């Protein structure tokens, strides 16, 4: 009898221990799955080498080393389609030019930025972003270059893609208020409209060739205002690329296109400022490679002719290498 009681007690204890272990294991899973905070690091670097041609001779013009992206960020998923983000960025530009008596690389500009934002996806192919940021710009080599800006950011992006056709449209509105007075304006409104279109007509021959027409247009408009909030000037720059692209494998893409660049500046009376309206005709070639979180691209941009430039007969050649890392 005593043996039966002991066996029964032992079985109950074993079941109790098993139940406790199972409860602990199930309680740990939601903690990992419900983690709504993520951290990120993005690094981007470009190195450009410029040659200028005059009287049928090519000569060194400038070498520029630019940290285009150095961003630490954190994101909190508030809902499935709503996220709050915080970031700190510190891009910088280093360069040397042919005008330098001593060929040394100088820090031309540093522009640290601190900001917060909200990203909302009402539907799968639409993204809305709202942000607030502070930007500091200064040049260690010149005490005259120093500014602190505070600004808002409102962005809307729409995309569509199928086996042959893809389009991406992004419009970003960025009002900024200058907290320091160095320039001849106190505030400005920046608006950038980007449109990218691909039509992979070679996919009709063989699926997944991902080769065909590529068009990209970037229109940037800046309106400047003085201390009394009166309109003072406007600048418009439009870049248009039209050509071919191919991305037959996931880790490789190449592009070849004609490239047009148009810049115009007007005063408060909406009259074009003399010498501030130029147009350039260029070519654009690029090969890009990617592996997991790392990307590498090399591009070559020869400038054949510019309209209304100081020396329109001159040509220039830019070779640019870019590296990106994201975690």
| Segment 160-185, tens digit of pLDDT | 999 899 999 999 999 998 887 656 67
107 or 157, greater pLDDT: 157
- How far is Cα 265 from Cα 233, in angstroms, rounded to an integer? 7
pLDDT for 19: 36
* Average pLDDT over the chain, rounded to an integer: 81
In this predicted structure, the answer to whether residue 23 has a pLDDT above a threshold of 50 is: no
pLDDT for 190: 94
How large is the average pLDDT for residues 232-251? 94
Where does the pLDDT of residue 74 fall: very low under 50, low under 70, confident under 90, or very high at 90 and above? very high
Q: Vertex 96, ends 138 and 72: CA angle to 5°? A: 45
pLDDT for 12: 39
CATH superfamily of 36-326: monomeric porin ompg (2.40.160.40)
Distance of CA 222 to the CA centre of its chain: 18
The pTM of the whole model exceeds 0.75: yes
Q: 183-198, pLDDT tens digit by residue?
A: 667 888 999 999 999 9
In this predicted structure, the answer to whether residue 18 has a pLDDT above a threshold of 80 is: no
pLDDT for 276: 66
Tokens 């406007």 correspond to 234
pLDDT for 32: 36
* SS3 annotation, 295-316: EEEEEEEEEEEEECCCCCCCEE
How large is the average pLDDT for residues 75-92? 93
Q: In this predicted structure, which of 145-154, 180-189, 304-313 has the lowest mean pLDDT?
A: 304-313
* Residue 140 structure tokens: 């260690």
* Residues whose CB falls within 8 Å of the CB of residue 51, separated by 6 or more in sequence, listed in order: 58, 59, 60, 61, 316, 317, 318
In this predicted structure, the answer to whether residue 4 has a pLDDT above a threshold of 80 is: no
CB-based contact 298:285 (threshold 8 Å): no
* Residue 325 structure tokens: 């890392």
């Amino acid at each position: 009898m005593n043996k039966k009681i002991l066996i029964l007690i032992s079985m109950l204890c074993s079941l109790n221990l098993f139940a406790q272990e199972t409860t602990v294991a199930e309680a740990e899973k939601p903690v990992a799955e419900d983690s709504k905070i993520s951290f990120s690091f993005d690094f981007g670097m470009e190195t450009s080498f410029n040659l200028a041609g005059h009287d049928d001779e090519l000569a060194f013009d400038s070498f520029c080393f630019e940290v285009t992206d150095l961003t630490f960020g954190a994101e909190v998923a508030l809902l499935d389609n709503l996220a709050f983000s915080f970031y700190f960025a510190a891009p910088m530009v280093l360069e040397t030019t042919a005008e330098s008596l001593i060929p040394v690389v100088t820090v031309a500009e540093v522009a640290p930025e601190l900001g917060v934002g909200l990203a909302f996806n009402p539907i799968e192919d639409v993204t809305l972003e709202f942000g607030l940021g502070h930007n500091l710009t200064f040049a260690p080599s010149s005490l005259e270059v120093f500014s602190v800006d505070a600004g808002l950011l409102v962005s809307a992006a729409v995309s569509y893609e199928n086996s042959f056709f893809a389009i991406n449209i992004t419009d970003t509105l960025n009002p900024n208020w200058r907290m320091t007075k160095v320039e001849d304006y106190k505030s400005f409104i920046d608006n950038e409209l980007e449109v990218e279109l691909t039509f992979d007509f070679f996919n009709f021959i063989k699926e997944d060739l991902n080769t065909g027409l590529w068009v990209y247009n970037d229109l940037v408009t800046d309106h400047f205002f003085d201390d009394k909030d009166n309109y003072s000037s406007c600048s418009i720059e439009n870049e248009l690329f039209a050509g071919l692209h191919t991305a037959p494998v996931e880790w490789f893409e190449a592009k070849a296109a004609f490239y047009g660049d148009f810049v115009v500046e007007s005063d408060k009376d909406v009259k074009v400022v003399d010498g501030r309206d130029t147009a350039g005709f260029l070519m654009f070639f690029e090969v890009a490679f990617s592996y997991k979180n790392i990307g590498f691209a090399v591009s070559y941009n020869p400038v054949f002719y510019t309209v209304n430039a100081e020396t329109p007969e001159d040509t220039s050649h830019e070779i640019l290498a870019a590296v990106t890392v994201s975690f």
